[in-house]
């Protein structure tokens, strides 16, 4: 079906690379069958990520020109700080070069060996920083989140019984914070409800445990709350976002997502002592506490992007475009994660290629096949991304073995979504031909999915 017209017009265009199947075959071989290692010049439609790949507005480009590049105390920092305070509500704002910069600072400040960090499903960089500092991550998301077909409207919710059990098992003094993502990336961009977050707030307050929000896609989460959760229909998305943040003690942010920028991030906290600690760390790892690894112009672009991100027509068009692609694939019988998430349509690779063992990486295999067939690059979100269990050394086998078709904001049109749908459907029809998977020929120790190399088995 049709979907509402984009609330913007195009002022500048970028030529898309067109390749032949033979060229893609060579590119794939050169990339060690890892779509992360493809050159973007060899990719037609790039749905690897929605991170830093957004199209900036004319106002953001204009803001770049007003960047104050002073080393210390730049005007652009204060504009950035005000935008974060106004929209997210955290008193102390520590700038970082991107989301994982904030995760590093936070994890170093709060995690010691023997700590336990519960969260609503893991994210790759978030868990890596927790483990690097000696912590152990515990997934306390509701079971429905691991079931791709389940239509639960808030699959990002925390299972309060799981959280309470963990608090009793390890003791609240060993839990530095609960890590709450909104939306949950690895579950397919699924939201957490306000009611659930409120209940988590009540439970953790009784045990004096802070909540840290991963706010990368919290605007998208706020949109889903407004659409789906009783009692929030009359609120603005900006208002729902503030209410989400109000139930947390701090947040890490990748401004490369919701905030429509190409780079940037921040750590926001309410506690003055933690802010002081974080500022001491940021000068070591990122840059001075008034730029944190960003140029002044980057902070300008983020400040403007934050304001645009909560505009109703902007967020509506964003979510509707993702849903439009989802509907086409769903109508064609492709096994997907339901409901369709905020930033991506996720194809269930385990259900598509049930004949492949998990240790032959069905999702990576499917992503490579899709690229070869159509030049569309998806992301692997399955066994390769999950890495190895630090205790056993074996591959982790998450129940979700997905390829993620991640939609950059304001970049592609409806016709591009039609091309993507045709490509996925074509590969799905030929799935029986994919009778062998992949094996590692090079496997990095950390975040292996970025740089690993494979060969067909």
* Of 362 and 408, CB closest to ligand F0G: 408
**Tokens describing residue 11:** 């002022």
Q: Is 257 a catalytic residue?
A: yes
**Annotated catalytic residue: which of 59, 71, 205, 450?**
71
- Report yes or no: 220 and 315 within 8 Å, Cβ to Cβ: yes
Q: Is 71 a catalytic residue?
A: yes
**Annotated catalytic residue: which of 124, 125, 290, 406?**
124
**Tokens describing residue 232:** 């929030």
* Of 216 and 294, CB closest to ligand F0G: 216
* Of 96 and 196, CB closest to ligand F0G: 96
3-state secondary structure of 427: helix
Please, how many CA atoms are within 13 Å of residue 8, restricted to the half-sphere of its CB? 22
Shortest approach of ligand F0G to residue 354 CB, angstroms? 26
- Alpha-carbon span 225 to 215, nearest angstrom: 15
Q: Is 409 a catalytic residue?
A: no
Which alpha helices (DSSP H) does 185-285 contain, by range? 194-206, 218-228, 237-246, 272-285
Give 101's contacts (C-beta < 8 A, 6+ positions apart). Answer: 265, 285, 286, 292, 293
Q: Is 454 a catalytic residue?
A: no
- Alpha-carbon span 225 to 236, nearest angstrom: 11
Shortest approach of ligand F0G to residue 13 CB, angstroms? 24
- Alpha-carbon span 430 to 425, nearest angstrom: 9
* Of 167 and 315, CB closest to ligand F0G: 315
- Alpha-carbon span 405 to 44, nearest angstrom: 13
- Alpha-carbon span 364 to 230, nearest angstrom: 39
Binding site for ligand F0G (CB under 6 A): 49, 51, 98-100, 123, 125-126, 181, 185, 214, 216, 254, 256, 265
Instruction: Calculate the CA 237 to chain-centre distance.
Output: 19
Classify burial at 152, counting beta carbons within 10 Å of its beta carbon; exposed 0-12, middle 13-18, buried 19 or more: middle
- Alpha-carbon span 359 to 254, nearest angstrom: 31
Shortest approach of ligand F0G to residue 355 CB, angstroms? 28
Any idea which residue has 């020109």 for tokens?
A: 65
Shortest approach of ligand F0G to residue 31 CB, angstroms? 17
Q: Where is 168: in which H helix or E strand?
A: helix 160-170
Shortest approach of ligand F0G to residue 436 CB, angstroms? 27
- Alpha-carbon span 50 to 60, nearest angstrom: 18
**How many residues make up the chain in this entry?**
457
- Nearest alpha carbon to residue 367 among 19, 32, 17: 32
- Alpha-carbon span 32 to 357, nearest angstrom: 20
**Annotated catalytic residue: which of 79, 377, 381, 448?**
381
Shortest approach of ligand F0G to residue 229 CB, angstroms? 21
**Tokens describing residue 353:** 């290629």
* Of 167 and 241, CB closest to ligand F0G: 241
Shortest approach of ligand F0G to residue 231 CB, angstroms? 26
- Report yes or no: 452 and 382 within 8 Å, Cβ to Cβ: no
Q: Is 44 a catalytic residue?
A: no
Which residue has the CB atom at the shortest distance from ligand F0G?
99
**Annotated catalytic residue: which of 48, 77, 122, 123?**
123
* Of 119 and 362, CB closest to ligand F0G: 119
* Of 118 and 265, CB closest to ligand F0G: 265
* Of 264 and 339, CB closest to ligand F0G: 264
Q: Is 214 a catalytic residue?
A: yes
**Annotated catalytic residue: which of 122, 291, 449, 454?**
449
**Annotated catalytic residue: which of 256, 257, 318, 409?**
257
Shortest approach of ligand F0G to residue 169 CB, angstroms? 26
HEC string of 46-79 equals ECCCCCCCCCCCHHHHHHHHCCCCCCCCCHHHHH
- Alpha-carbon span 403 to 162, nearest angstrom: 28
Q: Is 26 a catalytic residue?
A: no
3-state secondary structure of 253: strand
* Of 87 and 256, CB closest to ligand F0G: 256
Shortest approach of ligand F0G to residue 191 CB, angstroms? 13
Could you give the residue numbers annotated as active site?
71, 123-124, 214, 257, 381, 449
């Amino acid at each position: 079906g049709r979907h509402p017209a984009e609330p913007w017009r195009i002022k500048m265009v970028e030529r898309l690379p067109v390749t032949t199947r033979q060229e893609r075959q060579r590119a794939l071989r050169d990339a060690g069958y890892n779509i992360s290692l493809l050159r973007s010049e060899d990719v037609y439609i790039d749905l690897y990520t929605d991170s830093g790949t957004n199209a900036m507005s004319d106002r953001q480009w204009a803001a770049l020109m007003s960047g104050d590049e002073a080393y210390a105390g730049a005007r652009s920092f204060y504009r950035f700080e005000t935008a974060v305070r106004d929209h997210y509500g955290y008193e102390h704002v520590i700038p970082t070069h991107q989301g994982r910069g904030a995760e590093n600072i936070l994890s170093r400040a709060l995690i010691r060996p023997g700590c336990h960090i519960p969260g609503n499903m893991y994210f790759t960089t978030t868990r890596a920083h927790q483990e690097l500092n000696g912590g152990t991550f515990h997934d306390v998301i509701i079971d429905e989140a691991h079931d791709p077909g389940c239509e639960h409207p808030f699959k990002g919710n925390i299972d309060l019984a799981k959280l309470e059990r963990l608090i009793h098992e390890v003791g609240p003094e060993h839990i530095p914070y609960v890590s709450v993502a909104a939306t949950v990336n690895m579950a397919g961009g699924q939201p957490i409800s306000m009611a659930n977050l409120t209940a988590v707030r009540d439970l953790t307050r009784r045990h004096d445990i802070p909540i840290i929000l991963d706010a990368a896609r919290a605007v998208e989460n706020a949109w889903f709350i407004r659409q789906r959760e009783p009692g929030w229909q009359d609120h603005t998305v900006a208002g729902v976002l503030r209410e989400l943040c109000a139930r947390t003690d701090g947040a890490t942010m990748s401004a490369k997502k919701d905030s429509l920028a190409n780079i940037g991030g921040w750590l926001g906290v309410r506690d003055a002592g933690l802010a002081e600690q974080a500022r001491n760390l940021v000068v070591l790892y990122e840059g001075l506490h008034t730029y944190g690894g960003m140029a002044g112009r980057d902070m300008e672009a983020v400040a403007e992007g934050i304001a645009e991100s909560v505009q109703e027509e902007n967020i509506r068009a964003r979510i509707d475009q993702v849903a439009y692609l989802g509907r086409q694939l769903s109508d064609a019988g492709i096994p997907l994660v339901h409901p369709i998430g905020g930033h991506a349509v996720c194809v269930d690779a385990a259900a598509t290629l049930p004949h492949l063992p998990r240790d032959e990486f069905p999702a990576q295999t499917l992503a490579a096949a899709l690229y070869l067939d159509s030049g569309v690059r998806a992301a692997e979100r399955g066994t390769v991304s999950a890495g190895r269990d630090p205790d056993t050394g074996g591959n982790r086998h998450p129940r979700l073995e997905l390829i993620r078709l991640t939609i950059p904001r304001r970049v592609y049109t409806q016709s591009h979504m039609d091309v993507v749908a045709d490509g996925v459907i074509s590969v799905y029809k030929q799935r029986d031909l994919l009778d062998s998977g992949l094996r590692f020929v090079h496997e990095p120790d950390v975040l292996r999915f970025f740089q690993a190399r494979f060969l067909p088995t």
